[in-house]
Amino acid sequence: MPRATSKKRSVPFPFDLLVLLIRPNDTSEISCMFCQQEAEYRLDNFMRDFGLGQGSDRKQGGLLDIDAVWREAIHRQVEGDYTPTYYQVVCMDCCIHFAAIQLGRKRPIQYFLKMASIARRQKGMDLSVAILCTVDSWQDEGDTWAIPAPSTDAAAVMQHVNNLGRDAAKAEEPQPKESEEEWEQRMQKRQRLLELRAQEIQAHGQLRLFLAAYEDLERREKQRGRTHQWVRGFVYGLFGPWLDTPEKEKLSEMIGTLDKQIKGFQAEAQALAEEMGVLRAQAQAVSKEEEEKE
């Protein structure tokens, strides 16, 4: 990858630069721009094409200043601008070919695209595959890596990466000697972990609403005084079987149910995270043993 050599403004190194986003083709263009096969994918590029540099991007003699292009991309993304500089519509074969050139290896691209295809076919979900480059300084050439993300929006993809954490995100790539079956098993657990996290967030949102409603009822009861509470309790004591359940009790039951659900989500997520850690460690150990034999 190209290098940047100077700094215009503060950049939080190490910085994850989004280089390429692979997502389903949502344009009106139906043919691959390289081979004319069906264009299944769209490649969003976030660094200007080296053949498109103009003006200040070119050094004396007309050569492109790659460092300037690199700096520009970093500065834009530091400011939260994830607008693609250009895109290409491609078929499956060309997608794998050009993405593998960008990443430096083909296997993760093949696996992640297969995962995205399964998610779209079985669950109606559109996943994307992001290629990032982590740079530790302006002089660092960077380390490229790939990750599948549950969104086709670049900003949302980067938010997903930040929420997941760089080390966990990088670990989603298949290990060098990991079989496809082993990787799929790990990814299924990872997908379930994401689903549990989404369910937990939704349940927490509902719980906050019910707690607020419960507190509001308690406040209104206190304002009405003890006499109202005594009369209400007496009436429900006599005619309770024929009356609807009091709203406060309904809310209390809902709060208890949600609390149990959240604890269940958290327990399952914890168990899955531990299993994934074991699977990843096993894959890394096998890879290391194979490398030592070679």
Average pLDDT, the chain: 81
Domain ranges of the chain: 15-173, 189-293
Predicted local distance difference test score (pLDDT) of residue 52:
47
CA–CA dist 76, 285 (Å, integer) = 39
Residues 192-198: what's their mean pLDDT? 78
Q: What is the pTM of this model?
A: 0.65
pLDDT in tens, 233-243: 655 555 454 44
For 152, phi and psi rounded to 5 degrees?
-110, 5
The structure tokens listed for 189 are 């657990």
Own/partner pairs, 96-105, CB within 8 angstroms, 24+ separation: 98/43, 99/20, 99/22, 99/43, 99/129, 99/131, 99/146, 102/19, 102/20, 102/131, 102/144, 103/131, 103/144, 103/145, 103/146, 104/144
pLDDT in tens, 125-183: 888 999 999 999 888 889 999 998 888 999 999 998 988 888 878 877 887 777 777 77
* Cβ atoms 207, 258 nearer than 8 A: yes
More confident residue, 184 or 255: 255
Please determine, for residue 32, whether its predicted confidence score (pLDDT) is greater than 80. Answer: yes
Predicted local distance difference test score (pLDDT) of residue 272:
85
- Under the banding of pLDDT at 50, 70 and 90, the label for residue 36 is very high
Residues 34-49: what's their mean pLDDT? 93
Listed ranges 16-25, 105-114, 261-270; the one with the highest mean pLDDT: 16-25
For 293, phi and psi rounded to 5 degrees?
-65, -40
pLDDT in tens, 181-194: 777 787 788 778 77
Predicted local distance difference test score (pLDDT) of residue 239:
45
Please determine, for residue 15, whether its predicted confidence score (pLDDT) is greater than 90. Answer: yes
